[in-house]
Amino acid sequence: MAVDTTVNSAPRASIWNDPRGRAIIYQVLVVGGVVLMFWYLISNTMENLQNQQIASGFGFLDREAGFEISESLIEFSAASNYGSAFLVGILNTFKVSVLGIAIATILGILIGIARLSSNWLVAKLAMSYVELLRNIPLLLQLFFWYGVITVSLPGPREAINPLPGVFLSNRGFKVPVPEAHFAFTMAGVALVIGIIATYVVMRWAKARQARTGQPFPMLAAGAGLIVGLPVLAWLMGGAPTTLDMPELGRFRFTGGITLTPEFAALLFGLATYTAAFIAEIVRSGILAVSYGQTEAASALGLRKGLVLRLVVLPQALRVIIPPTTSQYLNLTKNSSLAVAIGYPDLVHVGNTTLNQTGQAIEAISIFMAVYLSLSLAISAFMNWYNQRIALVER
């Protein structure tokens, strides 16, 4: 008797009936389409540039710029190259972004807490601040603050002189600055060491208090490290006291350092505008914390300030941090509006370079790369901090 050895097997399913297979095919097609689109755009652009005999590439960065920049954190002159000009613009953008984020954070926290104040007048003033600044376009606010500074303040010859060597005019705020000396370099290094040491001691103090319940005088220790170490380094370096004093020349001030109207208007406008949004984020974060936490802390005898600082805000941070990250990114990107009031940020310097060289694609590529890098750096830091304060289930 013959035995049938044929094995009955189910027919293999088509890849189109497999959800994972379809997903892979769709993703490959999308990526391929994006690559083809970019290839077409780049090749078409290069062809058009060649037809119009327009040079491409970043070789122009080594050429002499031929223009001055009013504010610079590094030495720059008309004889410097375009690469140095872009670096000046990047540093100026970085400076106003970092200071703006710091001021907006402090102001936003204060306004957000004030919105929840039991004092009717304080709460209404905070609400008016938020509603007013959030609903006026930032560009108009920058024009307003720039106009206030340049129109309401007197000229250089009638400058307000509240202290020797301090002048306030429509050309900016002039203050004395210490003359270059090695002692100040030592003090700067000591300041960095003091900040790092304060952070280390603070972590140790928290662990010690959690283990033994004994508080550590962190405020006095931090002040001693952050203030005492730089002062000690300055004394060891000879304690120089010579100042570079501002003086009024025939047409302008010389000496000292200047807070220009452009920088002041941009910084103040960015900080106050962003602070209005951060204030609402802080208010919502505090309201998200269960009121039972506040009642429990009050039952232990903690004062309102300690309840807010030790109980409410640490829990509210988990709600506050993610949307605040978006506001930091907005402030950094909004700094490009500086071109409207003449502050030499990246876009302002880049536009001047673009007009002189005609390298539009390269200049815009630098804009995109710099703002993308700043945004990614801010996001990475805030995500790291958000993970550090996240609740961990054990």
Beta bridge partners of 173: 168, 259
The identity of residue 264, as a single letter, is: A
Q: How far apart are CA 266 and CA 84, in angstroms?
A: 23
Question: From residue 47, how far is each of 17, 42, 359 by CA, in Å?
Answer: 44, 9, 15
Report whether 57 contacts 362 (CB < 8 A).
yes
C-alpha dihedral sign at 222, 226, 232, 235 = negative
List of domains in the chain: 82-159+259-388 (1.10.3720.10)
Q: How far apart are CA 218 and CA 112, in angstroms?
A: 27
Report whether 25 contacts 15 (CB < 8 A).
yes
Per-residue model confidence (pLDDT) at position 14 = 65
- Digit-by-digit pLDDT tens for the chain (394 residues) are 455 555 555 555 566 677 787 788 888 889 999 999 988 877 877 777 667 666 667 888 888 888 888 888 888 888 899 999 999 999 999 999 999 999 999 999 999 999 988 899 999 999 999 999 999 999 999 999 999 888 888 887 888 888 787 888 888 888 888 887 888 888 889 999 999 999 899 888 888 887 887 878 888 888 888 888 889 988 888 888 887 788 777 767 777 788 889 999 999 999 999 999 999 999 999 888 888 877 787 787 778 777 877 788 888 888 899 999 999 999 999 999 998 998 999 999 999 998 888 888 888 889 999 999 999 999 999 999 888 877 665 5
Alpha-helical (H) ranges within the chain are: 19-51, 82-115, 120-134, 138-152, 182-212, 218-223, 229-236, 261-288, 291-299, 304-306, 313-334, 346-357, 360-388
Question: From residue 230, how far is each of 66, 234, 238, 257 by CA, in Å?
Answer: 40, 6, 13, 21
